[in-house]
Structure 1
Amino acid sequence: MAVLPPATLKRKSSLPIWVSISWRVLAVLGLLALAVGVHWLERDGLRDSADGQVSFLDILYFTSISVTTTGYGDIVPVSTSARMFDAFVVTPIRVFVVLLFLGTAYNFVLKRTWDKWRMAVIQRTLSGHIIVAGYGTTGAETVDELIARGTDSGRIVVIDTREENLSRAKECGCIVLQADATRDQILKDVRIESAESMIVCAGRDDTSILITLTARHLASAIPISVIVRNEDNELPARAAGATTVVNPVSFAGLLLAGSCTGPHLSGYLTDLASYHGEVELSERPVLPDEVGKPLAAIRTGLGLRIYRGDAHFDHKAPEAAALKAGDLIVEIVTA
């Protein structure tokens, strides 16, 4: 059995940046003060080759040089205690100070510059991508299904506020952004105006509707699919600009009700919805050689419905007797 790494509780630091930098500076000053104090007490064990006298200024100079470099040799420890202090205390302080400065430079300068550069590179290539706002259970299942259907994981951008969710999304090959998708700037950062579509599954109906409203404000033509769990919120979601509204509770009720009259209906519907089923639903535009033919005559699958403008017609409707250019066909095809 594989041994799992120990789990670690994490949360975002509540300290502002200036406080974080300040305590690092204070830590360095405290270590310098410690070294200065001991060197002053052990000043008889130091020798100054210039004048033979070791003043307090000489102690400050010697300590700062010893902590930041290996020294110049003008002031040297000669007693055993002074040498032991420099070897076992000053040297570790020197290493700690260097690491502290390197860590500060990485966190507040290098890392931010690197992240901004990487983000700019990714943004230049973002076009025709799919944005998934929320990577909980539903969002993860959605991404898995998209990848199974042939969508390149590099074309999927996942936005979530939780680091553990983004780690799972990154393992799938998705582009991730830890942020709040209700903010205009965040959706601009993922270039929503050039995205192919957007899927909203934030886990809360009010949050999902707000994300939908923000997205529609920034991209008037993008298809937006949103999941809501309360039937009363379906209309507000559509009013916010959702192209498709999915209610998993209602859909589960339909499956359960269908299973009472036929035990195989729910299994067949699940096959239709999933890429891994034996059959699946497909939506496509009508082909040029299909124009003028009836919906029943298509050869790619079993035609169920056509969408013509804002209207839809089932396979038995008179309008389905002759397909027109621009029609959308919903059909059942073999997986």
Structure 2
Amino acid sequence: MLPRAVPGPLRAVLKRVLLALGILVLSAVIVYLGRDGYRDSSGKPIGWLTSFYYATVTLSTTGYGDVVPVSDSARLISTLFVTPLRVLFLLVLVGTTLEVLTERTRNEWRQERWRSKVRDHTVVVGYGTKGSSAVQTLLKHGTTPESIVVVDTDPARIAEANRRGLVGIVGDGSRSEVLERAEISKARHVVISAERDDTAVLTTLTVRRLTRRATVVASVREAENAPLLRESGASSVVTSSDTAGQLLGMATISPKVSQVVHDLLSHGEGLELLERPADTGDVDKDPRALKEPVLAVIRGSRTMRFDDVAIGTIQLTDRLVVVRSVHNRRTDPGRR
């Protein structure tokens, strides 16, 4: 389901039905007001029932001929008002039918067009509390909504993702055909935030069977299942229950430290934790000598803490994990 601003199907149909009823009522009122110029073959006077009957058979182009305009004024009104209303009534009915018939074709065309263009996107499997928070963090760090694809079994969650401008797919993320619809083979990142650990493992195995290039980040509730996820192919594993417990313990012992950690994890406020490439001003320096606090140095596939003697000095090909204040980032936007 690609995001777009359209009313729900029930609302659209109801709107057209009300419009058609309005045209019918207006036609019946016109006939009733000019009832002296109409003749019923039964000889009865024209009343409200006959007016609605005549409007119905006229607008639907049935035209039984048992009620007809006989006066010049009635024929003129039928020509100038009833006939245009008949055309409008038919357009409403035909438009509704065509919309129903073409909606599926239009959606399929939009989906094929999206699949042909999507590259290096992020697939988020599971859009519950963890998944939506992960998406919010990605958006705050500059990821565009159209480059995020959400997969969830709950249509309501997918509808919410669409409202945020994300691409949504209703389905089980552990199934190959569902992930293929998300163009998983072209994805750069995959975030797995399933509600059950066994589902997370199965989803990771399925993702790795379909792609080897994507970075897979998965969450588990229990720490004992983390090794199994890594063996299944996850690049990084976050243990939600342990992390939450550690933060709770930290907040109990040292509330201020807990506030700093929360500040680091909250993008756009106070301090933020980010990864940036080393620049020429950093080369050949000790990590502790830089203006920005360096927490770790990433060299190749190895991540080393700032005090690791193996670092020596910073190289141009290194990437640095640093702490930066939001104020400094805003005043020096080019240094990322």
TM-score, normalised via structure 2 length: 0.66
The residue aligned with 1:331 is: 322
Alignment of 1:111-126 (within 5 A): 111-126=103-118
Query: How far apart, CA to CA, are the structure 2 residues paired with 1:297 and 1:184?
Result: 49
* Distance of aligned partners of 1:131 and 1:330 in 2 relative to their CA distance in 1, 3 Å threshold: same
Q: Check conservation: 1:130, 1:155, Cα contact below 8 A.
A: yes
CA apart distance, 1:308: 2.5
The residue aligned with 1:258 is: 250
Aligned with 2:298 (options 304, 307, 310): 307
Query: How far apart, CA to CA, are the structure 2 residues paired with 1:280 and 1:202?
Result: 27
Cα distance per residue 1:1-21 (max 9 Å; x no partner): xxxxxxxxxxxxxxxxxxxxx
Read off the aligned partner of 2:317 and give its amino acid letter: G
- Structure 2: give runs of 5+ residues left out of the alignment: 1-40, 43-56, 68-88, 327-336
Q: Check conservation: 1:286, 1:327, Cα contact below 8 A.
A: yes
The residue aligned with 1:136 is: 128
CA apart distance, 1:261: 3.1
Aligned with 1:174 (options 152, 155, 166): 166
1:323 aligned counterpart, secondary structure = coil
CA apart distance, 1:102: 8.2
Query: How far apart, CA to CA, are the structure 1 residues paired with 2:289 and 2:117?
Result: 41
Cα distance per residue 1:231-251 (max 9 Å; x no partner): 221111111111111111111
| Residues 1:249 and 2:249 aligned together | no
Query: How far apart, CA to CA, are the structure 2 residues paired with 1:203 and 1:113?
Result: 34
The residue aligned with 2:264 is: 272
The Cα RMSD (Å) is: 3.0
Query: How far apart, CA to CA, are the structure 2 residues paired with 1:280 and 1:126?
Result: 30
Q: Check conservation: 1:270, 1:277, Cα contact below 8 A.
A: no
The residue aligned with 1:193 is: 185
Aligned with 1:232 (options 220, 224, 234): 224
2:317 aligned counterpart, secondary structure = coil
Task: State the identity as a percent.
Answer: 30
Most deviating of 321-330 and 164-173: 321-330
Query: How far apart, CA to CA, are the structure 1 residues paired with 2:323 and 2:138?
Result: 18
CA apart distance, 1:325: 4.2
The residue aligned with 1:317 is: 308
* Distance of aligned partners of 1:135 and 1:113 in 2 relative to their CA distance in 1, 3 Å threshold: same
Aligned with 1:281 (options 273, 280, 296): 273
Q: Check conservation: 1:155, 1:174, Cα contact below 8 A.
A: yes
Read off the aligned partner of 1:306 and give its amino acid letter: V
2:255 aligned counterpart, secondary structure = coil
The residue aligned with 2:19 is: none
1:210 aligned counterpart, secondary structure = helix
Query: How far apart, CA to CA, are the structure 1 residues paired with 2:315 and 2:268?
Result: 32
Q: Check conservation: 1:126, 1:190, Cα contact below 8 A.
A: no
CA apart distance, 1:136: 0.9
Name the count of aligned residue pairs. Answer: 252
The residue aligned with 1:70 is: 61
CA apart distance, 1:149: 1.8
Structure scoring higher RCO (CA < 8 A, sep ≥ 6) equals 2
Most deviating of 241-250 and 316-325: 316-325
